[in-house]
C-alpha cells in the first residue's frame, strides 16, 4: 500500500468515525414507551332496545312477549360472552407482547452499548496520523498488526451497527403491535358496554311485562318452560371423578344461586357461565360463550348422552346446559327461574346438539 493510500484511508476512517458517533448518540438507550391505557371509544352505538313491541291485551300475549324479550337478551348475552372471551384473549396477547418488548429493548440496549464503545475507541484515536505512526514506529510488523486490528474494529462496528438497526426495527414493530392491541381492547370494552346496555333494556322491558301478571300467572309462565325436578346421585354414580366434580359443582348452585347475565359465579351465573365454572371445578378451562363451547370436544347424539355432556339449544346457539343422567340436565334457565334441574323432554327450546368434553 502507498503512503498516499494510507493517508487517504486514514481520512476516510476519521470521517466515518464522526458519522457513526453521531448516529450512535441518536440511537443508544432507546426505551420502549409504556403501553397506553385503554380509553373508551367515544362513538358508542345507541342501545338497540325499543321496549315491548306492543301493549299486551291478554295474559298469553304478555307471556309471549316476556319470553321473546328474554330470548333477545339471551342472544345479546351470547354476543357479550363472546366479546368477553375476545377481550381476555387480547389481554393475554398484550401481556406476552409487553414481555417480548422488554426483552427486545434489552437486546437493543446491549447492541447500542457495544456500538457506542467501538465508536468511542475510534473517536479517541482519531488524531493519530497513520503516516506518522509508520515513520516513527520502530517495529513495522507491529504497525501492520495495528492496522489489521483497526480494520477488524471497523468491520465489527459495521456488523454491530447493522444488528442494532435491525433489532431496533423489530422493537418498533412490536411496539406498534402493542399499540394496536390496546386500541382493539378499548374497542372491545366499548362493544361490551353497548351490549350490556341493550340486554339490560330488554330485561327491564321483560320485567315490566312480568309485573303485569299475577303470582299465579307467573307460576304458569315458569311451568311452561318445563318446571323443575330433583337430581339423583345414582344418575351419575358411574361417571369419572372429574365429571362427577363438574356435575356436583353445578348441582350445588341449585337453587341457591341466581341467574345473573354475563356472570360465572360464585353465586350468580348465566347459562354458559355455569358450565364454565362447573368444568373449572374439574380442572378444565372453557370459554364463556355457549357458541364457543358448542365446538369443543366431540359431537354426541341425544340418544347417546352421558353425564357431563354439554347440551345446546336454539339456532344460532345461545343456551347451554349439562346432562346429569336419568334424562335430566342442570342449567341456568333464565332470570325468572334462576338455576334448575329439569327433564330433557320438558324443555321446549329447539335442540341444537350436544358435545362430550371428557370421555
Reply yes or no on whether 271 is catalytic: yes
Query: Does the pTM of the predicted model rise above 0.85?
Result: no
Reply yes or no on whether 29 is catalytic: no
Pairwise CA distance, residues 210 & 191, whole Å: 29
Residues of the chain with CATH 3.90.1720.10: 227-356
Contacts of 74 (CB under 8 A, 6+ apart): 271, 314, 318, 319, 334
Pairwise CA distance, residues 89 & 83, whole Å: 10
Q: What is the pLDDT of residue 148?
A: 54
Please check whether residue 65 is in contact with residue 56, taking contact to mean a CB–CB distance below 8 angstroms.
yes
Pairwise CA distance, residues 92 & 188, whole Å: 14
- The candidate with the shortest Cα–Cα distance to 310, out of 290, 326, 327, is 290
Please check whether residue 179 is in contact with residue 35, taking contact to mean a CB–CB distance below 8 angstroms.
yes
Pairwise CA distance, residues 247 & 233, whole Å: 10
Pairwise CA distance, residues 350 & 317, whole Å: 10
Reply yes or no on whether 331 is catalytic: yes
**Helix axis angle, 271-281 relative to 241-252, nearest 10°?**
140
Pairwise CA distance, residues 262 & 260, whole Å: 6
Pairwise CA distance, residues 349 & 353, whole Å: 12
Residues of the chain with CATH 1.10.287: 3-34+57-210
3-state secondary structure 6-31: HHHHHHHHHHHHHHHHHHHHHHCCCC
CATH of domain 227-356: 3.90.1720.10
Find cell 335430566 and name the residue. Answer: 328
List the catalytic residue out of 84, 271, 288, 318.
Answer: 271
Q: Encode the chain (359 residues) as per-residue pLDDT tens digits.
A: 433 333 333 333 343 333 333 333 344 334 334 334 334 333 333 333 434 445 565 778 888 889 889 889 888 989 898 888 889 889 999 999 999 999 999 989 988 888 888 777 777 655 445 544 544 455 555 555 555 555 666 777 788 888 888 999 999 999 999 999 999 889 889 988 998 899 889 988 988 988 888 989 988 898 899 999 999 999 999 999 999 999 999 999 999 999 998 899 999 999 999 999 999 999 999 999 999 999 999 999 999 999 999 999 999 999 999 999 999 999 999 989 999 999 999 999 999 999 999 87
List the catalytic residue out of 84, 288, 318, 319.
Answer: 319
List the catalytic residue out of 84, 288, 318, 331.
Answer: 331
Looking at CATH, the fold of the domain delimited by 3-34+57-210 is given as Helix Hairpins (1.10.287)
Amino acid at each position: 500500500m502507498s503512503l498516499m493510500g494510507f493517508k487517504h484511508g486514514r481520512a476516510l476512517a476519521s470521517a466515518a468515525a464522526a458519522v457513526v458517533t453521531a448516529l450512535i448518540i441518536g440511537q443508544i438507550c432507546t426505551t420502549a414507551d409504556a403501553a397506553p391505557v385503554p380509553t373508551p371509544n367515544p362513538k358508542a352505538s345507541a342501545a338497540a332496545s325499543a321496549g315491548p313491541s306492543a301493549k299486551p291485551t291478554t295474559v298469553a300475549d304478555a307471556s309471549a312477549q316476556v319470553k321473546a324479550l328474554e330470548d333477545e337478551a339471551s342472544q345479546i348475552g351470547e354476543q357479550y360472552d363472546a366479546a368477553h372471551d375476545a377481550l381476555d384473549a387480547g389481554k393475554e396477547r398484550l401481556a406476552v407482547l409487553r414481555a417480548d418488548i422488554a426483552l427486545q429493548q434489552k437486546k437493543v440496549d446491549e447492541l447500542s452499548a457495544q456500538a457506542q464503545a467501538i465508536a468511542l475507541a475510534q473517536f479517541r484515536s482519531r488524531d493519530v496520523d497513520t503516516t506518522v505512526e509508520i515513520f516513527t514506529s520502530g517495529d513495522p510488523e507491529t504497525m501492520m498488526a495495528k492496522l489489521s486490528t483497526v480494520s477488524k474494529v471497523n468491520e465489527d462496528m459495521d456488523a454491530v451497527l447493522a444488528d442494532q438497526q435491525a433489532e431496533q426495527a423489530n422493537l418498533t414493530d412490536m411496539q406498534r403491535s402493542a399499540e394496536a392491541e390496546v386500541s382493539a381492547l378499548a374497542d372491545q370494552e366499548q362493544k361490551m358496554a353497548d351490549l350490556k346496555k341493550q340486554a339490560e333494556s330488554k330485561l327491564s322491558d321483560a320485567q315490566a311485562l312480568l309485573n303485569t301478571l299475577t303470582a299465579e300467572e307467573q307460576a304458569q309462565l315458569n311451568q311452561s318452560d318445563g318446571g323443575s325436578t330433583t337430581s339423583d346421585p345414582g344418575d351419575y354414580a358411574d361417571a369419572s371423578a372429574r365429571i362427577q366434580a363438574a356435575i356436583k359443582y353445578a348441582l350445588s348452585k341449585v337453587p341457591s344461586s341466581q341467574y345473573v347475565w354475563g356472570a360465572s359465579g360464585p353465586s350468580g351465573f348465566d347459562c354458559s357461565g355455569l358450565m364454565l365454572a362447573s368444568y373449572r371445578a374439574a380442572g378444565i378451562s372453557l370459554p364463556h360463550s355457549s357458541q364457543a363451547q358448542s365446538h369443543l370436544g366431540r359431537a354426541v347424539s341425544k340418544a347417546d348422552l352421558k353425564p357431563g355432556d354439554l347440551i345446546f339449544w336454539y339456532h344460532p346457539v345461545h343456551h347451554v346446559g349439562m346432562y346429569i343422567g336419568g334424562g335430566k340436565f342442570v342449567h341456568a334457565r333464565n332470570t325468572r327461574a334462576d338455576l334448575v334441574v329439569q327433564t330433557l323432554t320438558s324443555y321446549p327450546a329447539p335442540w341444537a346438539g350436544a358435545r362430550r368434553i371428557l370421555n
